[in-house]
Amino acid sequence: MSVACIIPAAGRGERLGGATPKALRQISGKTLLEHSVRAMIAAREVTSVVIAAPQESVSQVEDILSQIAADVPISVVVGGQSRTDSVRNAARAIPSAEIVLVHDAARPFVPAEVVSRVISAVRAGAPAVVPAIPVTDTIKHVDAAGRVVHTVERDELRAAQTPQGFTKTALDQALADHQTQATDEAGLLEELGVPVLVVAGHSESMKVTRPLDLVVAEAILRRRQSDRMM
């Protein structure tokens, strides 16, 4: 079964700050986008990649991709106002595929084992699969006045990561209603009552969201480089 990968990379990165779109910010001399693309194609099952880029950065993104010696086709489309719109634009451009992965450009270090786990679960029959890790903080539900309503049972919580994996049919179903928006595609399917399976994610598959995350990302890369030298 062929596996297409959509990489939404068209966000501004408001929480990170700075003038450059987040996917084009660098860690150790390589953009987040390049790290993410390399991580996804390192999982040998991925057969094609479509990136949704900020409109003004399409040619810069094409330059970055031309540096990657990939043996799968990689194409670029213009992203949309929201993440869901960006994924929808990219979904129109994917070559025929039975399985579609959606992976944040902002998650540069997803291990290949996580990508394989997601793909295997879709192959085994799950229409939608999300990698996730246990939550370490105690999470409080609070009201508008800042008062704690209750403490959420932590054992039942998971932090969702990407790539999320879908049958092509399920992703098309998720994106069919052009009004709906969500911070992940699995969320759209949950609303429709489609079962979503969770598999183990990985702590290194963190999302670069705030400035401190860039520091952590640099540290992960340094540790990987020193592990390789040993």
Cα-Cα-Cα-Cα dihedral sign, residues 124, 126, 128, 130: negative
Query: From ligand CTP, Mg ion, none, which one binds at residue 8 (CB under 5 to 8 Å depending on kind)?
Result: ligand CTP
Q: Which of 3, 6, 9, 206 binds ligand CTP (CB under 6 A)?
A: 9
Query: From Mg ion, ligand CTP, none, which one binds at residue 201 (CB under 5 to 8 Å depending on kind)?
Result: none
Q: Which of 35, 83, 88, 117 binds ligand CTP (CB under 6 A)?
A: 83
Please say which residue, 85 or 98, places its beta carbon nearer to ligand CTP.
85
The site string for Mg ion over 11-50 (x = CB under 5 A, - otherwise) reads: x---------------------------------------
The stretch near ligand CTP (CB under 6 A) out of 8-16, 58-66, 129-137, 140-148 is 8-16
Torsion of CA 198, 199, 200, 201, to 10 degrees: -70
Q: Which of 82, 116, 120, 173 binds ligand CTP (CB under 6 A)?
A: 82
Q: Which of 3, 6, 10, 110 binds ligand CTP (CB under 6 A)?
A: 10
Burial zone of 229 (CB within 10 Å; 0-12 exposed, 13-18 middle, 19+ buried) = exposed
Query: From Mg ion, ligand CTP, none, which one binds at residue 9 (CB under 5 to 8 Å depending on kind)?
Result: ligand CTP
Residues at the interface with Mg ion (CB under 5 A): 11
